[in-house]
Amino acid sequence: GAVVSQHPSRVICKSGTSVKIECRSLDFQATTMFWYRQFPKQSLMLMATSNEGSKATYEQGVEKDKFLINHASLTLSTLTVTSAHPEDSSFYICSARTGQGAREQYFGPGTRLTVT
């Protein structure tokens, strides 16, 4: 149980275009999902907390107009990188809690974004 999927696993896009990454909880309902960014050989950096049916809460320094997050259902959250630039190239990972009050976070397999 507690499986989280992401799509796509890797994507290459041109500078200036937008790309959408999907995060799904496959066998549970996730009221809260998280989006992280990870640079090579570094730790995970929390970008935002996504709650179903409400606006995402962004961490300090993360541009909310550039990284659009939508959590429209209890099993799906999306991250859209708008007007992508090469510096947005990174490994993006989502995670989900299995329910209200649950402490465990289960991570998706990640999406490798390359902006050319």
Closest separation in Å from C-beta 43 to another protein: 5
Q: Map the footprint of another protein across residues 15-34, applying CB under 8 A.
A: 32, 34
DSSP 1: -
Strand, coil or helix: 27: coil
CA dihedral 36, 26, 77, 8 (to 10 degrees): 70
Is it true that the peptide bond before 8 is cis, omega within 30 degrees of 0?
Answer: yes
Closest separation in Å from C-beta 83 to another protein: 26
Closest separation in Å from C-beta 44 to another protein: 5
Asked if 55 is part of the footprint of another protein (rule: CB under 8 A), the reply reads no
Which residue number, 55 or 83, has a Cβ lying nearer to another protein? 55
